[in-house]
A = this chain, B = another copy of it.
Amino acid sequence: MGALNADEERILFANDAFYAAFASGDVEAMDEVWAWEVPVVCIHPGATPIHDRAEIMRSWDHILSDPGVSDMKMHSPRVIAYDEFAFVTCYETLGGGVLIALNGFILENGTWRMISHQAGPCPDAPDEDDADDDEVGPSLH
């Protein structure tokens, strides 16, 4: 990936903040990551979508109470930026499994905040050492 512009760096920072909250089991920090003034949606692996912000936070409260979350590692984030909206694709490794995540962010009062999170199984994740490669994955298998 080439040099990042300022917005891309701020978007990656917001994505990092999400995973820092995740790995530290910090529910308050997780709460700070998500947008307040617009709709949000969260789709945990193998689960139905949660559209209610308070319910999303209750789901994180449940997930982050597991001490195993400290093993969460995120790698190979890639920003897809629009005007006041962005996606980040990245890989999550936890408990020996690998997930691919698509995280949505919006610029809310000058701060990039999460509006969507969806993660699902991804057997073909690239090696973590490839994090700096331009292309993170090949194609459909």
Kindly state whether residue A50 has any CB partner on chain B within 8 Å.
yes
Q: Report the separation of the CA atoms of residues A122 and B139 in the bound assembly, to the nearest whole angstrom.
A: 22
Given A48-B124, A85-B82, A55–B139 Cβ distance below 8 Å? yes
User: Which chain B residues border A100 with CB–CB below 8 Å?
Assistant: 43, 47-49
Within 8 A of B (CB), among A27-52: 38-39, 41, 43-51
Q: Beyond the given A51-B78, A118-B118, A120-B121, could you list 10 further A-B residue pairs with CB under 8 A, ordered by the A residue number?
A: A43-B120, A46-B124, A47-B139, A48-B100, A48-B138, A49-B89, A49-B100, A51-B135, A55-B139, A87-B104
Interface residue count on the A side (C-beta < 8 Å) = 46
**A82 surroundings in chain B (CB, below 8 A):** 38-39, 85, 106, 115
Cβ B121 vs Cβ A46 within 8 A = yes
